[in-house]
Amino acid sequence: MVRGAADVGRFSLARKSAVIGIVAAFVPFVGAAPAVVSAAPPTAIDLSTYVRVGRFDLPEPTRTAAPANSVLAQEVSAVTYNPVTDTLFVVGDGGTSIVQVSKTGVLIDSMTLSPGASPQGTEFYDPEGLTYIGGGNQFVMVEERDRQVSKFTYVAGATLLRSDVQTVDLGTFVPNIGIEGISYDPQTSGFVAVKEITPQGIFQTGVDFAAGTATNGSAATVDSVNLFDPALAGLSDFADVFALSNLPSLAGQPQEGNLLVLSQEAGKIVNSDRSGNISSSLTIVSDGGNPLSVPNQQHEGLTMDADGVLYVVSENGGGDIDHPQLWVYAPSAVPNQAPSALALTNQVNSILENTSTATRLKVADVVVTDDGLGTNDLTVTGADAGFFEVDSNGLYIKAATTLDFEVKAGYSVTVEVDDPTAGAAPDAVSAPFGLALIDVVNESTSL
């Protein structure tokens, strides 16, 4: 495996192909990918122009010597940028350490989180969010289930104790559906946080760490007041958030108050204003041969540096838990080209009629050949389209679809892709997909 060392912004031209699905032998580590990118401080963020320009392994104990009681960046769930050091800081939900890495994922140093009495044997339980707040070494970390935020000073090589932090509660205890991400918000001198699911939440709050209080949350709060209806984001979950007010070049610009919101389940990032209006989006695309789908790679954290370069971290982006990764995106200077092909691969062409559809049922991967720019809209077409749905991760039978061989023995659909800013409409169409039901005698729904 070769470690890419090129800085973002120094890449040569190469044609990029965005492939959704599993199509080739997988290489767990790639490094820097060539592309023509623009890395000047931006005055607006258009995610549809962003392409991946680097992919790097993060340090974890099977390949990197770790301090006692630390697994470094394993199970990485959050990333934040420190403009003073021009480096990234990450935390994993295993709760063992805060890790400082370079912009290419190289270990610089770490601060161990103390062992403790939580269910995972740590002092800080299920840390899922991390944000830099200033001073060169001041950060805030969020614990998902306890729904509390802790302000601390990063000291390389030290161990962080509960007594070292100032903690404020933002909500009651919940299972693994709590506060998943947080961003410092210079526009309000407060924070924007996201709650993962059930229900989704996206809210702004001020926090007085000295007094132990918050303006939108408390130890008794069930749900903080949202900035907007979370459904407007069009995402199946919220994994992290980044306030664009952290970018100095956006000060006074129309997008200064915008938010980047990441969905792990959808594998998508949207740029939204604080009323829920989406201006652009980026779909995270897997590499050919990766044994895991994009949702199962668990892209759970994002941040930007002052040049608008985007950094996304994943627990299993390299194909398994031993390959947490950092993916780097930057705006491209290459004109957008329309998608040139669409294929449905790894098809499931027959199922028992008593197969459960309590949740949607995947029947094919979707493979789009594209330059990675623009926004691709996927649509199911054909007489049976109403029984199916599609996204960048696959073609699915809709949840709650009634399967009955005696009523309908088979289905046939196609999938179209269209980039509304380039080419024809649609730009590419798949070959017809067929699904046959297998008759079951004395049927009952399988579990």
| 179 within 8 A of 213, measured Cβ to Cβ | no
Q: What CATH superfamily classification does 341-438 receive?
A: Cadherins (2.60.40.60)
pLDDT in tens, 396-429: 999 999 999 999 999 999 999 999 989 989 999 9
pLDDT tens digits for range 282-341? 999 988 788 999 999 999 999 999 999 999 999 999 999 999 999 999 999 888 899 999
244-271 burial code (b ≥16 CB/10 A, e <16): bbbbebbeeeebbbbbbbbbbbbbbbbb
Map tokens 């199946």 to a residue.
236
pLDDT of residue 374: 86
Give me the pLDDT at residue 36, please. Answer: 58
User: What are the tokens at 51?
Assistant: 């392409």
Please state the pTM of the whole predicted model: 0.87
Residues 201-228, mean pLDDT to the nearest whole number? 98
**8 Å CB contact between 302 and 284:** no
Q: Looking at the predicted structure, is the pLDDT value of residue 5 above 50?
A: no
Q: Please state the rounded mean pLDDT for residues 348-372.
A: 95
Q: What angle is formed at CA 309 by the lines to CA 186 and CA 275, rounded to 5 degrees?
A: 45
Mean pLDDT of the chain: 90
Predicted local distance difference test score (pLDDT) of residue 127: 97
Per DSSP, the residues of 257-282 read T-EEEEETTTTEEEEE-TTS-EEEEE
First to last CA, the chain: 43
Instruction: Tell me the backbone φ, ψ of residue 387, rounded to 5 degrees.
Output: -90, -5
pLDDT surpasses 70 at 445 = no
Contact in structure between 433 and 413 (CB atoms under 8 Å): yes
pLDDT on residue 289: 81
pLDDT category of residue 392 using cuts at 50, 70 and 90? confident
For 439, the token pair is 């008759």
- Band the pLDDT of 17: cuts 50, 70, 90: very low
Compute the distance between CA of residue 244 and CA of residue 255 in angstroms, rounded to an integer. Answer: 7
Residue 51 has pLDDT above 50, yes or no: yes
pLDDT at 48 over 60: yes
Give the DSSP H/E element, type plus range, for residue 297: helix 294-297
Q: What are the tens digits of pLDDT across the range 18-45? A: 322 222 233 343 455 545 566 679 999 9
CATH architecture of the region 31-331: 6 Propeller (2.120)
Locate the domains of the chain by residue range. 31-331, 341-438
Q: Tell me, what's the pLDDT at 333?
A: 84
pLDDT at 348 over 90: yes
